[in-house]
Amino acid sequence: MKGTIAIVFGGLCCLSAVAMITRPGPAFTNRLGLVRTTDSNPNRTKESEGFAALNPTLGIQLDYSSNNIQKIIVQCSSGVGPDLYDTYGGTQMQTYVSSGIAQDVTKEAKAMGFSIDGDTWPAVRGELSLEGVQYSYPANVNADILIYNKSLFDRFGVPYPKQNITWDEFFELAKKMTRGQGPTKVYGMTPLSTGLFYESMRGEIFSPDGTKLLITGKQMQKAFQMYHDLIFKYKVAPSSLDMKAMAGQGGWGSGSINQFCDGRFAMINVGKWALANFRTAHKDQLEKWEKTGKDPEKRNEVLRLGSVLLPHHAGMKPCYTVSARSVTINALGPHKKEALQFMKFLAGKEYSTIVNEAVDALPGNPKYANIGLTEGDPDLGEMEMHRNTIKAMDYGYQRRLSPFLLASDVDRILKVQISRMESDPSLNIPDLLSDAQQELEDLMQRNLDRDPKLRERYKQLTGSDRVGENR
Amino acid sequence: MKSSRKNIGIALLFLAPNLLGFMLFTLVPVLLSLGGSFTTWSLRPSVPLEFVGFGNYISLFKDKNFYFFLYNTVYLMLGIPISIAGSLALAVVLNQKFEFKKKNTQVRNELFLAMLIAGASMTLWIAGSRNLALVAFTLGIVALLGFRFGSISYRTMLYLPFFTAGAGTVLLWSQLFNPNFGLINEVIRGIFAVLHINAEAPGWLTSTKSLLGFLPLPSHFNNGGFGLGAREAIMFMGIWGAIGGNNMLLYLAGLSSISPELYEAADIDGASNWQRFRHITVPQLAPTTFFIVVVSTIGGLQGGFEQARLMTEGGPAGITTTLSYYIYTQGFERLDLGYGCAVAWVLFLMILGITLVNWKYGKAEVD
């Protein structure tokens, strides 16, 4: 027995020694390494190399495994967070600011040339700032456009969508492109969201002062009705539940982009960042065509793309929300000053060139929107996509946020109601929205009950500290 | 006396690492969460940490979602009796000694079986039924292992789910449950085709149908009626995980401790197999069953987090959100740790209450 214990103990000591010896050392020996949590896109390494080339004393250490909002908040709050973290949109930024881990960079941004006033796209200001305070700078900026599969349109003999298409025209077109049944069905369109319909009416969730919720308003009812019609009446796009069922099918993967490339959808609303996937799918299809005898008649079946702006409501200007994947500095981190250099880098020529070369949407600085671009494969209409994305940025806007309720709460609760509608077509939409409004008002009330400053502010604006009394 | 004190000291010394770990990583956080549940504890620095008494608990009892998620949690526990019965049945079967070995023909038979498996699987694969080919191959390998190593191989295989990584099995099951391309529906559709049944295969994780035919949701929600939906899918997965796990091992241990004389006496009296099982096995295993019921109930009330987080995000329509997932969303998505702690402590009190009831009435029954 003693011998066994001694052997086990000795073994553990040996393993500990091996662990100590093989422990990864510091990423840099003669530079200060800034930790950045981001996605695992291979382009991030290029970005880090570009930054290091311009900053001899600094380096970027990438952390892919912690790129999750809950992880970032917990790590930063407990003092072991990254120096820089990627922030996906204004909703996340509001949560980070509420958690006290987003650094105010307003003054420095003006001094160093990455301010929201003049150094980025006006449409994304709301993604980077809150109540006039700048917290982030974009790593890239995106506006969704309508991309269509020309090969599929030609096969079905349907004319391509035109620029400035209205929603009604779009539904008619999508109906013509929806064919077949069951697992091989071709849908006219990839899943759309109530949000897209709402935003194309320039819908807002909150009143201008943020004290009232506008969930039960006519615009939201119309958006829900349009989504309902899309999946149950016209049946031209799958619901999110249908998409889950469709996942796992072969082709180039399981997501809607890959299924679009595979010919399961005729149109898709997506940003030009998806070009990386389109290029891979196109190359694969072309190789397959070449291997199977290069039949000229079948050349047209290889993926060919076109693009236009997203549909809009008749009689209204086009309108979409635009998004930014931005970088924020950890307010509780030890290298805030050094991290500013990375934000400055994001607004520069070198970084913008990397973004454009990798077709990773648009760079944050519009001055460099066209730098380093290539024509790309004519089949994919890359320049047309680029031009449409820039045009879409002109129509972009940001939904208003409220200091009294996190936008992530709104998204989560609306998502449950949408899921209920998808599961039960007979559900009454006003009832559903009324439930959501009630639940959100309860949460807003709970926030007021907990935060005296917030309560005071709410009272000053409405004359009461009870939510719903000013409805 | 002196020696006894010295022994206690040595024992404590040996226990110290474990005790320290327990206190630091379990006891202290548990007590902190109790304290936190009476405060406004939040990850938002603008919210001051203040004592609110039973404020969180009062809000919780007014929270409609809490009752719905409690209902979901209890519904998912309906699988527990089935998994316990299954564990007992498996243990009884595996307690028999399977010996297929025959010295002269062993190798020849094994080779024949292996060729049969390979042939059947390849035929199905070539015919295009790749999923069925995999099923045939897996079942064949199971048969072959049983042929080679007897009941011990089945015991090992049935225990596999217990030490397989939870996240991995959850992801695997979500593929199996895919309504269009999943293996389960492929088999169901195959059976329907053979039996000429004109019915749709279940929607599993994408469906709100339920075995009870309704859902206690507001807004006159129609769940689609009676059927197999997301909660049943999770329930089946739970049964699969629990049936051959620790419960089966406990029953096997219990079975080995039943005196053979009891069975011999029953044989002399001319008892049938069923009578032996009903009047000897079941009563003799009552303490084991009681223990399993208590532990499974506790596990059931705490369950559903992995499935909700990785498979369903609590949907569709919130029907797979359990209390443990609700604690997570309140604490780490709403940043409201105080409220999350209150949910956790209400859950604890429910578990404690049910366990005490079990203990009081169940134990008396067992004794």
Indicate whether A294 and A160 sit together in one domain: yes
Indicate whether A125 and A183 sit together in one domain: no
Indicate whether A98 and A244 sit together in one domain: no
A450 → closest Cβ in B47, B175, B333: B47
What is the ipTM for the molecules in this complex? 0.80
Residues spanned by the domain of A300: 145-192+237-320
| Final residue before a domain boundary, out of A255, A286, A320 | A320
The 10s digit of each residue's pLDDT in B227-271 is 889 999 999 999 998 888 889 999 999 999 999 999 999 999 999
State how many domains chain A has. Answer: 2
Distances (CA, A) of A414 to A216, A228, A393, A419, B202: 12, 14, 26, 8, 26
Distance of CA A466 to the CA centre of its chain: 34
Residue A386 falls within a domain, yes or no? no
Residues spanned by the domain of B247: 57-98+202-366
The 10s digit of each residue's pLDDT in B319-358 is 999 999 999 999 988 889 999 999 999 999 999 999 999 8
pLDDT value at residue A413: 92
Residue A45 falls within a domain, yes or no? yes
Residue A55 falls within a domain, yes or no? yes
Indicate whether A184 and A312 sit together in one domain: yes
Query: Could you give the angle at which helices B230-243 and B166-176 cross, rounded to 10 degrees?
Result: 130
Task: Report the C-alpha dihedral over residues B343, B72, B332, A323, rounded to 10 degrees.
Answer: -150
Q: Sorting pLDDT into bands at 50, 70 and 90, what band is A105?
A: very high
**Considering chain A, what is the average pLDDT of its residues?**
90
End-to-end C-alpha distance for chain A, whole angstroms: 76
CATH label of the domain that carries residue A331: 3.40.190.10
The 10s digit of each residue's pLDDT in B261-316 is 999 999 999 999 899 999 999 999 999 999 999 999 999 999 889 889 888 888 88
How many Cα atoms are found within 13 Å in the side-chain-facing hemisphere of A443?
Answer: 25
pLDDT value at residue A255: 79
pLDDT value at residue A207: 93
**A305-308 vs A187-189, strand pairing mode:** unpaired
Residue B5 falls within a domain, yes or no? no
Percent above pLDDT 90 for chain B:
45
Task: Report the C-alpha dihedral over residues B352, B354, B359, B363, rounded to 10 degrees.
Answer: -160
Residue A399 falls within a domain, yes or no? no
Cβ neighbours of A290 (radius 10 Å):
11
Q: Sorting pLDDT into bands at 50, 70 and 90, what band is A251?
A: very low
Indicate whether A43 and A82 sit together in one domain: yes
pLDDT value at residue A250: 42
Residue A426 falls within a domain, yes or no? no
The 10s digit of each residue's pLDDT in B100-144 is 656 667 777 778 888 888 888 888 888 877 777 887 888 888 888
Residues forming beta bridges with residue A142, ordered by sequence position: A323
Average pLDDT over residues A67-85: 94
Q: Is the pLDDT of residue A173 over 60?
A: yes
Q: What share of chain B is helix, strand, coil (3-state, %, to 5)?
A: 70, 0, 25
Q: How many helices (H) and strands (E) does chain B have?
A: 20, 0
Average pLDDT over residues A11-17: 94
pTM to 2 decimal places: 0.84
State how many domains chain B has. Answer: 1
Average pLDDT over residues B152-178: 83
Residue B208 falls within a domain, yes or no? yes
pLDDT value at residue B99: 63
Q: Is the pLDDT of residue B41 over 90?
A: yes
Indicate whether A289 and A336 sit together in one domain: no
Cβ contact, residue pair B317, A419, below 8 Å: yes
Q: Is the pLDDT of residue B218 over 60?
A: no
Percent above pLDDT 90 for chain A:
66
The 10s digit of each residue's pLDDT in A392-423 is 999 988 888 999 999 889 999 999 888 888 88
Helix (H, G, I), strand (E, B) or coil at B336: coil
Q: Sorting pLDDT into bands at 50, 70 and 90, what band is B163?
A: confident
Lowest mean pLDDT among A230-244, B36-50, B175-189: A230-244
Average pLDDT over residues B135-160: 81
Indicate whether A301 and A331 sit together in one domain: no
Residue A184 falls within a domain, yes or no? yes
Indicate whether A175 and A37 sit together in one domain: no
Residue B74 falls within a domain, yes or no? yes
Residue A416 falls within a domain, yes or no? no
CATH label of the domain that carries residue B261: 1.10.3720.10
Q: For residues A73-100, b (16+ Cβ closer than 10 Å) or e, as one string?
A: bbbbbeeebbbbbbbebbbbbbbbbbbe
Residue B302 falls within a domain, yes or no? yes
The 10s digit of each residue's pLDDT in A301-356 is 899 999 999 999 998 888 888 899 999 999 999 999 999 999 999 999 999 999 99
Residue B135 falls within a domain, yes or no? no
Choose, out of B175, B219, B312, B334, the residue to mutate when testing the contact with A (most A CBs < 10 Å).
Answer: B219
Choose, out of B206, B217, B305, the residue to mutate when testing the contact with A (most A CBs < 10 Å).
Answer: B206
* Cβ proximity of A135 and A345 under 8 Å: no
The more confidently predicted of residues A63 and A468 is: A63
**A396-397 vs A320-321, strand pairing mode:** parallel
Angle among Cα B334, B335, B336 to the nearest 5 degrees reads 85
Residue B218 falls within a domain, yes or no? yes
Q: Sorting pLDDT into bands at 50, 70 and 90, what band is A470?
A: low
Can you tell me the distance from the alpha carbon of A84 to that of B326, in angstroms, rounded to the nearest whole number? 30
Cβ contact, residue pair B333, A73, below 8 Å: no
Indicate whether A312 and A336 sit together in one domain: no
Contacts of B333 in chain A (CB under 8 A): 70, 408, 412
Can you tell me the distance from the alpha carbon of A418 to that of B230, in angstroms, rounded to the nearest whole number? 17
Contacts of A245 in chain B (CB under 8 A): 178-180, 203, 206
Q: By the CB < 8 Å criterion, does B146 face chain A?
A: no
Residue B23 falls within a domain, yes or no? no
Indicate whether A122 and A165 sit together in one domain: no
Helix (H, G, I), strand (E, B) or coil at A189: strand
Residue B88, both tokens: 């007992």
Residue B174 falls within a domain, yes or no? no
Choose, out of A12, A423, A439, A454, the residue to mutate when testing the contact with B (most B CBs < 10 Å).
Answer: A423
Indicate whether A61 and A106 sit together in one domain: yes
Contacts of B64 in chain A (CB under 8 A): 439
Q: Is the pLDDT of residue B224 over 80?
A: no
Average pLDDT over residues B184-209: 88
Indicate whether A330 and A275 sit together in one domain: no
The more confidently predicted of residues A362 and A30 is: A362
Contacts of B220 in chain A (CB under 8 A): 427-428, 431
Q: Sorting pLDDT into bands at 50, 70 and 90, what band is B83?
A: very high
Q: Sorting pLDDT into bands at 50, 70 and 90, what band is A41?
A: confident
With an 8 Å Cβ cutoff, the interface of chain A facing chain B consists of 70, 73-74, 77, 95, 98-100, 183, 241-242, 244-249, 406, 408-409, 412, 415-416, 419-420, 422-424, 426-428, 431-432, 435, 439, 442-443, 446, 449-454
Percent above pLDDT 70 for chain B:
95
